[in-house]
Amino acid sequence: MIRASFESMLRTRQDVRWPAPGERISVKGLPGAGPSLLAATLHGETGRHVVLVADTPGDAELRFADLETLGTSAVARYMPQRETLPYEETDPHVEISSRRAEAISALLEGEARILVTTSRGLVERSPVSTSGGFGITVRVGEQTSRAELAEQLDSMGFEATTGVRELGDYVVRGGIVDVFPFGADEPLRIELWDERVESLRRFDLLSQRSTERLEEATILPVALSPELFEDAGRSSERRSLLELLPLDTLLLFEGSACDEPRRTQLWREIRQAREDLGDEDALPAEDLVLPPEAVSAQLNGLAVVHVDSPAGDATVGLGLDPHPPIERRIGLLVDEIRVALDRGDRALILCDSSGQLERMQEILADAAGTKLAARVHVAVGGLSGGFHIPGPEPLLVLTDHQIFARSRRVRRHRRLHGVAPLESIASVTPGDYIVHLDHGIGRFAGLERVRVGEETVETLKVEYAEGEILRVPHYRLDLIEKWTGVGDPDTTARPPAVHKLGGKKWKTLRSRTEESIRAMATELLDLYAHRSVSDGFGFSSDTRWQREMESSFLYEDTPDQRSAWLDVKRDMESPTIMDRLVCGDVGYGKTEIAIRAAFKAVQDGKQVAVLAPTTILVEQHLHTFAERLAGYPVRVAALSRMRTPAEQKAALLDLVEGRIDI
């Protein structure tokens, strides 16, 4: 819908002509996600390569996310700039180096037709094969060996570990090679038999169970290095993205991304960093970044479009209007939509999630009526900003994060969904006490490789009383945990007694513990049996205020946060007594769920008590609750040692008389 409207507008514009190689033009009137829309349209209309150069890395991520929403995922790639300047003694972030390698590979192999980067990402040089070929393709039935695979993975920047936990890890165990390549949600397991690939499978990190069988798999490098190509028998040269682009490429520069003083300053900083390093063997600066004069020479031969910058030879105004400044004013939102529909425009509201979509539909129906709401297209999708497209198919595009004045975060899909079994003992060092489920407490005595038949198995050595040794194979590490003492973590815990291998003490302790757990379980069952036949209070379904308050949250709900809130809300609206624990790390949005639940309760005439473990947290929560509920007739107060006796007495009196809500 969005691209079709924009394309129909462009077809009516006789004054719009895109530059040929060597020409430059300026374009204005592209607010919000307009630059991404232009990039997608230019590729679709001309078939040429398009490179969108954003002002900052954050802008580049937003532009790439825009392109995904606009339906270009198959041909669009993101080429991030390196996270540090050359010569800084910092290991490159594996996801950034992997993305760079994947973008260059996709460009050279004809898969990437639209690229998003920054001015630095455009000119940073990487080793590139001059004879073609990136990464390796493993196929079922082909000949290869463990040593050969390990050597190839090493040269591609993968790290040999004791267990695959995250992107860029690999491990060799017997005839199995596990590797976590870039672009995959799950690691890959390669099974070898007599130097032949027997099977290829994706597997789950937590359960270690196979999830998908494959006939072949391509493993891209996590970093580009000269050694990568030398090991594969291919020559390489250092090239920047700018040097690799075809001659018919359209370069779109946003704002000051093509600013020559900025390029010159970057070059000075890099040369100064090399000089400060004092290492004559360090790579020359021109091997790491394309010099400014070379950048200018390359740009002079390409077609350049300056977006919202007067640097071109001619200026074209495309006339998109910016997103109206609604900022949580639902009445203004309805007015804007009504005006657009009355003049014959279509209206589209993009929501960041299905939960936001449901809330938006409810708010529209409440505020505008079902008849008007039915004429508005509401869809899940994320754009960095909305706009109005004029022309024969006019379209008003609104975004929920702009409607509710909420910052938009690009959601990065985490590739690691769990922790491998080995993670639980990653911090154990020789001499530490550990607990084996079947044999009790012993001391960790290091790792040892043990020959079992024709295979070598890595084991964990545990020393028990009287010097007895237990060797636990790597595939049974789920039975092992690190021992932690009970009590104040700031004091030195008394070391535990080491058990005797095969003795009765550990079995007796386990037996007593199991009996205590059974007794506790019986008490809990009795308690929950009484609760299950007791009546609770069923709160009302969401009001318009509730939906507005939730939508005004400054950030996009995470999937887990959204799921937790729906569960809490379902519990509250049920007449069954509520019994739920919401768990989450610091900063993951638990307080927001508490605020929504408290507000929901207050609207049904209930008072809410929020208990906090410290006085400081009481004051922090007071401020947060009061700020979030400032637009509603809700009174929030605090009771703690930071309040004077008179304030405490007044608060208790107001609480008893119902003048305090939370």
End of a domain among 403, 429, 453? 403
| Bridging pattern class, strands 303-307 and 250-254 | parallel
- Please tell me whether residue 379 adopts helix, strand or coil conformation: strand
| pLDDT of amino acid 313 | 64
Write down the residue that tokens 């004809």 correspond to: 110
DSSP 99-157: HHHHHHHHHHTT--SEEEEEHHHHHBEEEEESS---SEEEETT-B--HHHHHHHHHHTT
**CATH code, domain carrying 165:** 3.30.2060.10
**Do 39 and 82 fall into the same domain?**
yes
| pLDDT of amino acid 572 | 95
Q: Is the pTM of this model over 0.85?
A: no
| CA atoms within 13 A of residue 46's CA, in its CB half-sphere | 20
Does residue 413 belong to any structural domain of this protein? no
**Do 633 and 576 fall into the same domain?**
yes
**CATH code, domain carrying 625:** 3.40.50.300
**Do 254 and 119 fall into the same domain?**
yes
| pLDDT of amino acid 134 | 63
**CATH code, domain carrying 86:** 3.40.50.11180
Does residue 444 belong to any structural domain of this protein? yes
Q: Which residues pair with 462 in a beta bridge?
A: 444, 470
Helix, strand, coil percent values for the chain (each to nearest 5): 35, 20, 40
**Do 256 and 114 fall into the same domain?**
yes
**CATH code, domain carrying 431:** 2.40.10.170
**Do 486 and 356 fall into the same domain?**
no
**Do 308 and 350 fall into the same domain?**
no
**Do 116 and 30 fall into the same domain?**
yes
Does residue 661 belong to any structural domain of this protein? no
Does residue 228 belong to any structural domain of this protein? no
| pLDDT of amino acid 407 | 67
**How far is Cα 481 from Cα 461, in angstroms, rounded to an integer?**
13
**Do 273 and 125 fall into the same domain?**
yes
What's the token pair of residue 16? Answer: 């719009």
Does residue 431 belong to any structural domain of this protein? yes
Residue type, 565: W
Distances in whole angstroms, Cα of residue 176 to Cα of each of 17, 150, 156? 57, 11, 19
Does residue 415 belong to any structural domain of this protein? no
**Do 291 and 358 fall into the same domain?**
no
Does residue 554 belong to any structural domain of this protein? yes
Write down the residue that tokens 């970057």 correspond to: 266
| pLDDT of amino acid 531 | 84
| pLDDT of amino acid 340 | 93
**Do 428 and 563 fall into the same domain?**
no
What's the token pair of residue 85? Answer: 């300047």
Does residue 525 belong to any structural domain of this protein? no
| Count of domains for the chain | 5
End of a domain among 351, 370, 403? 403
**Do 612 and 472 fall into the same domain?**
no
CB neighbour list of residue 475: distance below 8 Å, 6 or more residues apart: none
Q: What is the DSSP letter of 423?
A: G
* Mean pLDDT per 10-residue section of the chain, whose length is 662 residues: 93 87 91 95 93 92 93 92 74 74 85 93 80 73 90 84 83 88 83 90 81 88 57 62 92 87 87 82 84 92 87 78 88 92 93 83 86 90 92 93 76 40 56 88 87 72 91 76 65 76 86 91 89 89 90 81 93 91 85 96 96 86 92 93 89 95 97
What's the token pair of residue 517? Answer: 């757990």
| pLDDT of amino acid 650 | 93
Q: Which domain range does residue 285 map to?
A: 17-130+234-317
**Do 164 and 297 fall into the same domain?**
no
Neighbour tally for 452: CB within 10 Å: 10
End of a domain among 502, 517, 532? 502
| Residue 170 Cα to chain centre, angstroms | 22
